[in-house]
Structure 1
């Protein structure tokens, strides 16, 4: 896929994410790794109305080459690219249920999304909670770098989800699955929930090579 095609894919997925209410206003950001750097949604842009020609183009060192100024959330994106060699795209949203889960004080910080369904295990895996930092703060980068090697997704405390995937499609599918699992987790709070057993999770690992 060439750069122009990647730009169109970012526009397509940004519009889809926005129109389905997975992030509101100018919240959320997307980045995709390309051959000579990165394409990133611009700062204060609405994912529903991205202009392919104004998407930020960064070189391999993260310096702006063309387009509008990039999202202020670059540190969390580069944390995944640095520590997760398979990452080809990163998506950060303020989706309702995952963000709600990130605000709950009794969520397990080592695994906020319990293994309710096989698909959250297959597409998302364990989701740790990253301590709160100001949006855009460089302090987030080392916090995510500690986790990104073993986790494709995290919840930013009181902020929302971030997911890395091998491609933009994969990252979007995973963050959608995370949102659905977060919704189930909140709907089922206080109920006697049957989780997937360790044996069931091990079986998924054998068949789908989970990471």
Structure 2
């Protein structure tokens, strides 16, 4: 784990990159990284494209604000993931267009909601869970995320967007990007009966590239 000032700069760099490449928009999306003495999270109402490292919200382990601007109302989601994913080094929640669109469609298996179209989609995201709709900021949403995070690094919130954890900030960024692009492929191929990876191919990927 780097120094807090370095981590603040890294959060802003990742946020800017995701915003400028269209992975989120307006004041949507939030990012967090755990510290030895708490949690850094992006502020409420802030654009990921114009963050100030000094104004990031710093929370204690109970979720109380220590310094910086008021935290995102979705900070409960981030805290929920860290409670169950002890190896998580970052959490990213975005409102990417294609992943949100996919979250509005019915799924056969809510514990494996992302179609198995590519090897990298599975390698980066694993088996993506889908949660039903909850109001943003709802404590029940955080509780549902905490339950799913026990078995899933990546979760889709219906009508809302993805919550993705990684062992590092860069790992989380790559996974959320892969989820968005796989969702885009799924929408492009929707109704065309595409070939999926077989169960044997997925098992082979799991053996060679265990997630986390």
Bin for the TM-score computed over the shorter chain: over 0.9
Aligned residues of 2:107 and 2:113 also touching (Cα < 8 A) = no
Aligned residue number for residue 89 of structure 1: 90
Q: CA shift at 1:107, angstroms?
A: 5.7
For residues 107 and 126 of structure 2, the distance between their equivalents in structure 1, rounded to whole angstroms, comes to 20
Aligned residue number for residue 115 of structure 1: 116
SS in 1 for 2:53: coil
For each residue in 1:92-117, what CA deviation from the matched residue of structure 2 results, as whole angstroms up to 9, or x when unmatched?
00000000001113564232201111
For residues 202 and 9 of structure 2, the distance between their equivalents in structure 1, rounded to whole angstroms, comes to 37
For residues 57 and 179 of structure 1, the distance between their equivalents in structure 2, rounded to whole angstroms, comes to 28
Q: What 5-or-longer segments of structure 1 have no aligned partner? A: none
For residues 11 and 142 of structure 1, the distance between their equivalents in structure 2, rounded to whole angstroms, comes to 28
Q: TM-score, normalised by structure 2?
A: 0.96
Pair 1:149–1:16, CA change in 2 (3 A)? same
Q: CA shift at 1:192, angstroms?
A: 2.5
For residues 78 and 99 of structure 2, the distance between their equivalents in structure 1, rounded to whole angstroms, comes to 18
Q: What 5-or-longer segments of structure 2 have no aligned partner? A: none
Aligned residue number for residue 177 of structure 2: 176
Please give the residue correspondences for 1:1-211 in structure 2 after superposition, counting only pairs within 5 Å.
1-106=2-107, 108-210=109-211
Aligned residues of 1:101 and 1:112 also touching (Cα < 8 A) = no
Higher mean C-alpha displacement, 2-11 vs 199-208: 199-208
Pair 1:141–1:105, CA change in 2 (3 A)? same
For residues 10 and 146 of structure 2, the distance between their equivalents in structure 1, rounded to whole angstroms, comes to 27
Q: CA shift at 1:28, angstroms?
A: 0.4
For each residue in 1:26-80, what CA deviation from the matched residue of structure 2 results, as whole angstroms up to 9, or x when unmatched?
0000000111111000000000000000000111221111000100001111111
For residues 207 and 156 of structure 1, the distance between their equivalents in structure 2, rounded to whole angstroms, comes to 29
SS in 2 for 1:47: coil
For residues 107 and 195 of structure 2, the distance between their equivalents in structure 1, rounded to whole angstroms, comes to 19
For residues 160 and 53 of structure 2, the distance between their equivalents in structure 1, rounded to whole angstroms, comes to 27
Q: CA shift at 1:156, angstroms?
A: 0.5
